[in-house]
Amino acid sequence: MTAAKRAKAAPINQRAFDLLSLTLAVVLGVHSPHLPWWLSAVLALILGWRWWQRRQRIGRVPRWLKLPLLALLTLGIIAWYGSLFGRAPGTALAVGLLILKLLETETARDTRVGIGFACFALMAALLFDQGLVATIVVALGLLPALATLRALEPAQAPATLQRALLPSLSLLAAALPLTLFAFLLIPRLSSPLWGAPSSDQAVTGLSDSMAPGNFTDLLLDDRPALRVTFDGAPPPPNLRYFRAYVMWNYDGRSWHHRRADLGRTQAPIEVDQSIGYQISLEPTQQHILPTLDIPLEAPAHTQLQPDRELRADKRVDSPISYALHSALRYRLQPTLDAPARQLGLELPAGFNPRTHALAREWRARYGNDDAAIVRAGLSLFHDGGFRYTLSPAPLGRNSVDDFLFSTHEGFCEHYSSAFTVLMRAAGIPARVVTGYQGGYWNKLGNYLLIRNSDAHAWSEVWLAGRGWVRTDPTAAVRPERASMGAAAAAGDQLSWYRTGWLQSARNHWDIVNRWWDQGVVGFNALRQRSLLTPFGIRDTDTRLLSILLVITSLVFMLVGLAWALLRRETRDPLRAALRHLERKLAQRGIVRRRGEGPQHYLSRAARALPTQRAELTRLMNDYLKLRYAHSEPPAEPLHAFQRAVRDFHAAHVVK
Amino acid sequence: MHGLLQSIQRVAEHRLPSLTRYRQPESLPIQLHRRRIYIVPTGFGIAFSVLLLVMLTGALNYANNAALLLTCLLGAASAASMLMTFRSLNGLRLDQIRAHHAIAGQPLQVTLTLASTRARSAIRLDLDHDSTAFTASADVATDVTLTVPTLQRGWQPLPRVRLWSTWPLGLFRAWSWLHPDVSVLVWPQPELAGPPPRGLAEAAHHMRLHQGDELAALRDYRAGDPQRHIAWKASASHDRLLVKDFEQPRDRPQWQLDWRQLTDMDKESRISRLARWLGEAQAQRRSYSLWLPDNSIPNGSGSQHYAHCMSALAELP
């Protein structure tokens, strides 16, 4: 096997190396969104340099260059992440090692190791983003990987680089049906074998406090936050308020959500009108689940908090969906007990003197008419020269005073905060509520898409006899905010891709994402168990799934084998006709010998059957003419020959 | 890993002789079909399946369906590649084998002609220790030339031929043993040095015109001259037809090589001496005849004559 060993140690050809480099470039590309930028840049440089270097001269990169690079990579990752373990540093290290592996890749064996590793790295990219586009890009990354393996085989017809990728595409396409069945049938784990990775990635989303500037990131992030389907018609746009956090505590700068440690009873509610709906929530890494206005009951594994917020028992680390009912017209907590009232009026001492003065002036002017004070507050925002902007001027220590009396610009965060402070100063219990408002109604999919940028903050004021009443001061400044959504309110302050037709196209495209999220990403153990419900099998357990998987694999294997065994014999009707004649003659004992030509054979037959000599001689001449006078036998004489063979009946041999 | 596979294969061949190794010699053409093509994963294939299992476990554990989909896709593609590996050999036909000439001890070139109804890539052919890779095009005969070592003169049965392929991804290895019923003739090895042949015919020192290989002169046409000897181009510029006259330079004596002259030697030495004389006669462009116990080859010259004489020597019992 010296020849085989020699072949193993021989350097790979340029095509294989090019394809390997392309594969690694794709791996680097799909990982670059979550790698530190300097690492991506350095690795891309190393990759490009090595590719150029091997074009100049075949050979490994010397060790004195490789080892320092390896040390630098490790140190750099430790310096950046603080550790080598965990999902992000581990992936960064894997991608780095893979690129460095290219430096010493010369033989077929090195290349195969690299490709195996690259396939693994491609899969690892999906741990960070399993969206539809990401998955397709990663799957396309398999094309150069498979093409590299092909290029390692010796003796092939030459092809261009683009054409070298095509066979891999058809291989993947042929593998697709089996892939889909395997995907459906591979039994899912109901609980992980070992600890699922604690996601160390920060997720933008609502949080349990509202500090100045918290919302800015959120309003600029237009990834989907939740999708809602309604039983029946959706509520009108101005009622699409999704509550998440109710915030009571104000320290002069930021608002805080109150923990449910007070042991209070749930706020009572009188319902006028309610609606049923279902929410699919993207991971928030929080416990609180947004609900449409005031939820009436808690779904499984969740609890209703005293302020009628919905809290999940487990942190939302993966997409979940839940169904519930909410009140649209209601009276929430018609009577407010003294401690709650006290809390709803609490303001830190020594802040915002001008605001307090204004509130006292209103109280003096309107007497006991709380509703009139609320109206006065709203009209202040509406007529006071306030401007809606996502980049307001910074505020000082007395932030509400600065906002109300000097800067006059801000967004929902500022308006709701200032309004609530104003109301509390005037002696009306008030609180800040954060959540989402608006959304895009997808007609095709009949669902409401709410993005992170639809995050919103508003106030709830308590009025005697009416309970907690939602008051949206931002809507007073920008009525479009409530009726048309965040994008309309922001005007021209958004980046180019969030305006106009492109945003509309992105909204329409979201239906595909939703389908992917529901059909593929959300296909969990629970959904798998009800896979065969349409066929009357309620519970598809692991055993049944395994059996189905084996059967499906066998069926596909048989189909594949049938294809592999299929011999495309070139149809030759003339030859078939001659065979027919041979069979007829063989019955009379005149068997064509090995290596006997048709002329010799038929002459022999003519001698053996003297009574049919003329007929056989004519058949022989016809055959020879058809076979040798033309490159392709013409149709008419061929049919005549076939007829003659069919009509031929060999007489008994005269011995 | 490769060594382990090799030894497993060796054990299998030993244990399952009817399947693999001791297939009876068979006559050409030999067509490969499913009953004689074997397929096992390569070392890389096994390592790759382990990798797929790791990926599968990871995807299931993290409940990451996109990763699971990718793993399934890769697994299904690998399974499909197994069928392609099988298909790259299935239906291939070995039509004929031609052997070139070689003397004992030197490698002998053997050309195998293979036919295929469709294009195939990266098929490898092993013959003894020689190995080569080739592509086959649809409906065109493919010639593959390899060398086999030779030891002694005479008919030498061709060793088994192995056709194998790891196309397309190198994950599986399909192979088939062919044992064509073909022998190749190995010429005897000439001795290194020795005396020239005795009793040579009297040397003729003049040039004699006669039919030979080399053009000597042009002369006038005489009735009865063969038409193909007419020099048409030269005749066109003359008023008469000119005929090419050929000659065999006979500056060297004709050799009559005779088995009976070599009396005091054993058989193989006689053969190798005759082989040397034949080689020298051929190199000196003499004409020569050869007498052997059961075969007498009349006087002649040229490479065909040489091959004829050497083959007669090689075939001696």
- B215-263 confidence digits (pLDDT tens): 667 778 877 777 777 888 778 877 778 887 765 555 556 777 877 777 7
Looking at residue A12, the DSSP 8-state letter turns out to be P
Active-site hit among A257, A356, A412, A622: A412
Q: What single string gives the DSSP state of each residue in A435-461?
A: EEE--EEETTTTEEEEEGGGEEEEEEE
Smallest CA–CA distance, residue A439 to chain B, in Å, is: 27
What distance in Å separates the CA atoms of residue B61 and residue B75, rounded to the nearest whole number?
A: 18
Structure tokens at A40: 């991506």
Chain B residues near residue A563 by CB distance under 8 angstroms: 83
Smallest CA–CA distance, residue A585 to chain B, in Å, is: 25
Q: Encode chain B in three state secondary structure.
A: CHHHHHHHHHHHHHHCCCCCCCCCCECCCEECCHHHCEEEECHHHHHHHHHHHHHHHHHHHCCCHHHHHHHHHHHHHHHHHHHHHHHHHCCCEEEEEEECCCECCCCEEEEEEEECCCCEEEEEEEECCEEEEEEECCCCCEEEEEEECCCCCEEEECCCEEEEECCCCCCEEEEEEECECCEEEEECCCCCCCCCCCCCCCCCCCCCEEEEEEEEEEEECCCCCCHHHECHHHHHCCCCCEEEEEECCCCCCCEEEEHHHCCCCCHHHHHHHHHHHHHHHHHCCCCEEEEECCEEEEEECCHHHHHHHHHHHHCCC
Chain A residues near residue B169 by CB distance under 8 angstroms: 146, 149-150
- A139-172 confidence digits (pLDDT tens): 999 999 999 999 998 888 788 888 888 989 999 9
Ordered strands of the A302-304 beta sheet: A288-289, A310-312, A302-304
The partner residue sitting opposite B69, judged by closest CB among A153, A520, A567, is A520
Which of A142, A179, A568 has the highest number of chain B CBs within 10 A, making it the mutation to test binding with B?
A179
Angle between helix A14-31 and helix A108-125 axes, rounded to 10 deg: 20
Asked whether this complex has an ipTM greater than 0.90, the answer is no
Smallest CA–CA distance, residue A144 to chain B, in Å, is: 12
Q: Is A119 a catalytic residue?
A: no
Give phi and psi for B148, each to the nearest 5: -120, 145
Q: Are A489 and A480 in contact (CB under 8 A)?
A: yes
Structure tokens at B148: 């086999």
Look at residues A57, A121, A75, A69 and name the one whose alpha carbon lies nearest to residue A95. A121
Chain B residues near residue A560 by CB distance under 8 angstroms: 79-80, 83
Chain B residues near residue A317 by CB distance under 8 angstroms: none
What distance in Å separates the CA atoms of residue A155 and residue B166, rounded to the nearest whole number?
A: 12
Q: Are B161 and B128 in contact (CB under 8 A)?
A: no
Cβ of A142 within 8 Å of Cβ of B73? The answer is yes
Smallest CA–CA distance, residue A87 to chain B, in Å, is: 12
Q: Cβ atoms within 10 A of the Cβ of A39, count?
A: 21
Angle between helix B2-15 and helix B43-61 axes, rounded to 10 deg: 110
At residue A6, does pLDDT exceed 60?
Answer: no
Closest chain A residue to B123, measured at CA: A155
What distance in Å separates the CA atoms of residue A617 and residue B305, rounded to the nearest whole number?
A: 42
Q: Cβ atoms within 10 A of the Cβ of A533, count?
A: 11
At residue A85, does pLDDT exceed 50?
Answer: yes
- A465-524 confidence digits (pLDDT tens): 888 999 988 888 877 766 666 665 665 555 555 556 777 787 788 888 888 887 888 787
Q: What is the pLDDT of residue B277?
A: 86
- Determine the average pLDDT of the residues in A238-261: 83
At residue A655, does pLDDT exceed 70?
Answer: no
Cβ of B169 within 8 Å of Cβ of A149? The answer is yes
- Does the pTM surpass 0.90? The reply is no
Q: Is A456 a catalytic residue?
A: yes
Chain A residues near residue B119 by CB distance under 8 angstroms: 157
